[in-house]
Amino acid sequence: MNLRKLFIPILLLFISVFSCKDDDDSIDIAPDRDRQEVYNENIVEILEYLETHTFNYADFQANPAYSDFSTTPATITPNDEFDLVFSEIDPNVMPAQRSILSFLNEPDYPKLIVKSVTEDDVDYDLYILQLRGSKDDPQATGNLIHPLDKGVVEYNGFTPDGVSFDSAINPISFNLSNVGLLGGVVTGFREALISFKTAVGFTENTDDNGNPDGTITNHNHGIGAVFIPSGLGYFRYPPSTSSIESYSPIFFTFKTIGRADTDYDEDNVPSHLEDLNSNNDGDDDDTDGDSAPNYIDFDDDNDSVSTKDEDVDGDGDPTNDDTDGDGTPNYLDTDDDGDGILSKNEDADSDGLLTNDDTDGDGIPNYLDSDS
């Protein structure tokens, strides 16, 4: 079950609550529409924007894409402070300005790529502009971002007519996926962010006297933009306080500064590590087959010992405890001691607890003792 489909797309940071003043009689909600039909309209609008708009690529290309820390002193590129700006193509400007679309599948950066995303039985083309920091760029050395992470991002969200509806000029952290009552970002934004890597460090800036001025410059972070069909955005239900119309595409420019672990089930295993098959989809990893994906399952192997309590060495990390040495950590192993008896069946006194059963009195609970 895809938990993320249980939620109406919401504003970027947390849950957006639709409300009205006491004197409002009603809230106008657009009539429901067919998702494929809306996408067919959206993609025409997006392609028109990409064909008729340009960006400040010459400013970016005039400097090295990345700072170089192998030199002494380090060579810091002005692109660490580059801001992506879109504008309509001016036919009077010479040399002729390149459209955003003309960067499609360029061999070098900047480049425009198309990512295929399926949501609610509709196959979408998600156009992503990559200036630097792509996960496929060998020069990018930051960390990968997982859909179950928190993203640390600077961004500007705007409508096709250029009206900004949300922004953060300083790095801000938010969940990338909707889990339980915790809000996340819209699908299109998440799918773009996980296509980039994070910054690799920062420098404290100084004033003319060489004193810290309270600001920093992040280095070698991802820089890009995404053009999102409404089916991967807010679709019928944009935030009521925004300028977004129902069924409108939305666009974002962004900088991927960092990432942070989440632990949605509080089992001391970071959520991204519970994506066991590493396919960027935690929903299809369910070790015990109980329909609760591991990242929201407090007992991943259903052996009656909660995942966080399978931390035998007490270091706060259940992932490095493997009593029987079979390559499967205890929290995913239904027979922790490898004695051929399922751990959950080693509850000698049938009280539902395995940790207090020690038949041979050697101080090792039966489920961890191969000769109990």
pLDDT per residue over 33-46, tens digit each? 999 999 999 999 99
Contact 158, 249 (CB under 8 A): no
What are the structure tokens assigned to 287, written together? 């070790």
Supply φ then ψ for residue 241, to 5 degrees: -95, 0
pLDDT of 167 strictly over 90: yes
For 240-277, write each residue's pLDDT tens digit. 889 999 999 999 999 999 999 999 999 999 999 999 99
CATH of domain 3-18+31-206+213-260: 3.10.50.40
Percent of the chain at pLDDT > 90 equals 79
Find where tokens 């504008």 sit: 87
> How does strand 150-158 pair with strand 250-260?
antiparallel
Q: How far apart are CA 173 and CA 151, in angstroms?
A: 5
Highest averaged pLDDT of the listed ranges 145-159, 237-251, 356-370? 145-159
Give the mean model confidence (pLDDT) for residues 38-63: 98
For 293-307, write each residue's pLDDT tens digit. 999 999 999 999 999
What is this structure's pTM?
A: 0.87
- Please give the C-alpha separations between residue 362 and each of 338, 348, 359, 368, in angstroms, as whole numbers: 18, 15, 8, 11
Q: What is the pLDDT of residue 19?
A: 34
Q: How far apart are CA 96 and CA 166, in angstroms?
A: 32
Q: What is the pLDDT of residue 12?
A: 40
The pLDDT confidence band at residue 17, using thresholds 50, 70 and 90, is very low
Supply φ then ψ for residue 43, to 5 degrees: -65, -30
pLDDT of 160 strictly over 50: yes
Indicate the domain borders of the chain: 3-18+31-206+213-260, 264-372
Find where tokens 């205890």 sit: 330
- Average pLDDT over the chain, rounded to whole? 91
